[in-house]
Each structure stands twice: as structure tokens, then as C-alpha cells.
Amino acid sequence: MTDARRSNLPPLSLHVPEPRFRPGDEVDFGDIAVPPAGAARRPDTADPASSFHELAYSLVRVLDDEGRAVGPWDPRLSPDTLRAMLRDMALTRAFDERMFRAQRQGKTSFYMKSTGEEAVAVAAAHALASDDMCFPSYRQQGILIARGHPLAGLMNQIYSNKGDTLKGRQLPIMYSARDYGFFSISGNLTTQYPQAVGWAMASAAKGDSRIAATWCGEGSTAEGDFHSALTFATVYRAPVIFNVVNNQWAISSFSGFAGAEATTFAARAIGYGIAGLRVDGNDPLAVHAATQWAAERARTNQGPTLIEHFTYRAEGHSTSDDPSAYRSAQEYSHWPLGDPVVRLKQHLIAIGEWDAERHAAMDLECAERVKAAQKEAEKNGILGHGMHQPFETMFEGVFEEMPWHLKEQCQQMIDERKAAGI
């Protein structure tokens, strides 16, 4: 029975987030506030997190519309470093294109491209030390490419062939490369966040100098693991960098379902009392500068930093996704922050360290390098062309010493397969 004192109030209702543009809609991103490059102040890395809350709501940008690096966040990188970052982003894009086609050709079951988000991984990798431990999500293949992992080795994992060091036990693109400071990717959302905090805490407890960095999509910030990780990192001042890749879309739901309509994702840092930055994720220099700044804070015991990379997912969530079913086809071409590869190319040309001819030659070289790596990897087989690993290896690698009951099961399966002529 309704209380008479509330009889004049409207009935309660739920707000259900709705994306601004659906298939066929005209796109206008005019409501996105894009501050001028160089406008955000750069605090000292020793400043308390409470003294620069505005950086969680603005946008750290370095490259302006003419390709010039401006403002206090300019990392002042050498031309050689800039060219290396450009090459790694171009190589990542070429790798993505070829592996996407390989999936469409039936050579593997699954692939995820990082088109438009290459700077988030590559520029960060260049800013971190080579022995810092990365706890990635499933769209940071650029870290491994920037750290020099053999391309054929990545393809072996994608094909689950006999050259796959993970022996076919992981979904394609869920790499694990300890020697390259790359923790095993998990399909379960955000499990890498508390793992990164634990690793960082262990590094600090041992008096080491290495830090951890971890990545997740903006949708994953709604997971409990995200908040558990931030709580531990806050309490123990763990030397860890939290990267939230806000590319506007999860597999088929937009960022509003993770709370984007209420505030920025970088603002989550404020509630935990840690440093928070919101960065132009399509500006490689801004990503590098923010990562370098956060790494210095971590190494000097100033605690964790949360960086929101404001970017856009140009392609589908994966090869299993059709974005044309839920968003306007115009969105990426109208995205106001441009393309990270193009922007770094324009910057190098603007400072007289690059030109269109060298860029075209680099793209061709990257394409040929990826093509050669694919040929090498496919000598080890492709998915669906029989079993590439010895059958009994499915029982290995779980325990240091295989317990008796698994030995019995393994032998039983071997005997049954022999009896069946397999």
C-alpha cells in the first residue's frame, strides 16, 4: 500500500544506458571535449595524488593538429626512438591484418585485432624497462612485438601447432612469454589486475626495482577483481601501473554499461586515493609520457597510478563479432583523436625526420616480414590439420610431479587409443 505522503511522486524507473549512434545513424562526436594539446599540467612525480585530481577529468595530449609536440608532457624522445615506435606500431598492424586473414582462411579459430589502439601497447612498452612485468589483456600484442618477440612464435601459438610453446592449451592470441616480461593472458576478465598487484607487492617486499603494469578494457572495470586490485594497491602502495583502455565498446555493449555516462574511468583512482590520469590514447607521445611518469612514481615508492587511455576500437571485438550490427559504420572515421600511426608519422615528417617514401617502404618491409614469419610458422602446421602435440601432454604441466591418479588416467587413455587404432 502506497504511503499517502508519496502519492504525488512519479513512479521509480531505471536508467538503461543507450549508445548515441546505431547502424545507419549519422555520427557527430562534437560533444566530446578535446582540450588543446599541451594544456594539461604535468605534476612532479613526488606530488601527492590529491593535488592533481583535474588530470583524471581532462585529457593529457602532446601532439597538436599540425603534428608538433607541445606542452609539459612532451617526453622529448630522440628521432631514433620515435622511428622505432612507429615501426613497432606499423608491424603490429601488419601482423594483425595477416592473422585476421589467416582466421578467415580457416587456419585458426579466433583472432583479435588492435587496430587504432597500437599506441596503448607499443608506446607504453617503450616507456617501461624491458624487465618490468606486463599483465596484459587480449589486445596488447604490441608489447611483445615492441620487445622483440619472434613473430613466428606468436603465430605458432595462434595456430596451436607443434611449434606452440603453450602446447595448444591456450586459446589463440592468449600468449604467455615469461622471457619477455609478458604474463599469461586469461580469457576471464580482469584476473590480471590482482595478479599484477601481487607481483608488484612481491617485487617491493624483495627490495627489487622492477614494477608491474597491467591493462584491461573499460568494461572490465565493472568486475570485482578490478576493485579488489585497487584496494590492495592503495593500502600497500604497490609499484603498479593500472591501464584502462577505454575504446568505447565491449563485445557488443558500449562503455555506458561500465559507468562511462557518470564520469571518466580515470576518476576511479580518486576514490582510492591514488594517482589518476586521462590520456589521449591515440597520441603515442602522450601514452609514452604518462607511462614514464607513472613508472617513476612506482619506482620511487609513490604508489600506483591509474591511466585511462581514451581511444576507439576500430575493428570488431574479435573475428567472432560483427560491429555493423550494433554501431554506426561512420564511427571510426569520425573519431576526433585520429589514428595513432598516422599521427606519429605526421610528427616525424613535421620535424624533418621522416617522409612519405620512407613510410611506404617501411610498410612494405613490415608486410614482407610478417609474410615470411607466417610461412615459417605454417611449416609447423595450422589448426584443424590433426593433433600437433603428443596426446599425453594434456596431462602434463599442472603439477610439478604428476600424481598417481593422473598417471593412471593418462595410461588408460593411451591404451584405449591404441586399442581403437588411433
pLDDT by residue for the chain (422 residues), tens only, comes to 567 777 788 889 999 999 999 999 999 999 899 999 999 999 999 999 999 999 999 999 999 999 999 999 999 999 999 999 999 999 999 999 999 999 999 999 999 999 999 999 999 999 999 999 999 999 999 999 999 999 999 999 999 999 999 998 899 999 999 999 999 999 899 999 999 999 999 999 999 999 999 999 999 999 999 999 999 999 999 999 999 999 998 887 889 888 888 999 999 999 999 999 999 999 999 999 999 999 999 999 999 999 999 999 999 999 999 999 999 999 989 999 999 999 999 999 999 999 999 999 999 999 999 999 999 999 999 987 877 888 888 888 888 999 999 999 999 999 998 898 88
Phi and psi at 204, nearest 5°, equal: -70, -40
Residue 313 known to be catalytic:
yes
pLDDT of residue 1: 56
pLDDT of residue 6: 77
First to last CA, the chain: 71
Choose the catalytic residue: 98, 326, 358, 369.
326
Domain map (residue ranges) of the chain? 48-378, 394-422
Work out the angle at residue 59's Cα, subtended by the Cα atoms of residues 214 and 251, and round it to the nearest 5 degrees: 50
CB atoms within 10 A of CB 139: 25
Residue 317 known to be catalytic:
yes
Q: Which of 263, 310, 262 is nearest to 286 (CA)?
A: 310
Type of residue at 10: P
Choose the catalytic residue: 313, 327, 343, 347.
313
Residue 326 known to be catalytic:
yes
pLDDT of residue 385: 82
pLDDT of residue 391: 80
pLDDT of residue 412: 94
pLDDT of residue 5: 75
Choose the catalytic residue: 268, 278, 317, 327.
317
Work out the angle at residue 203's Cα, subtended by the Cα atoms of residues 198 and 206, and round it to the nearest 5 degrees: 125
Domain 48-378 has CATH 3.40.50.970: yes
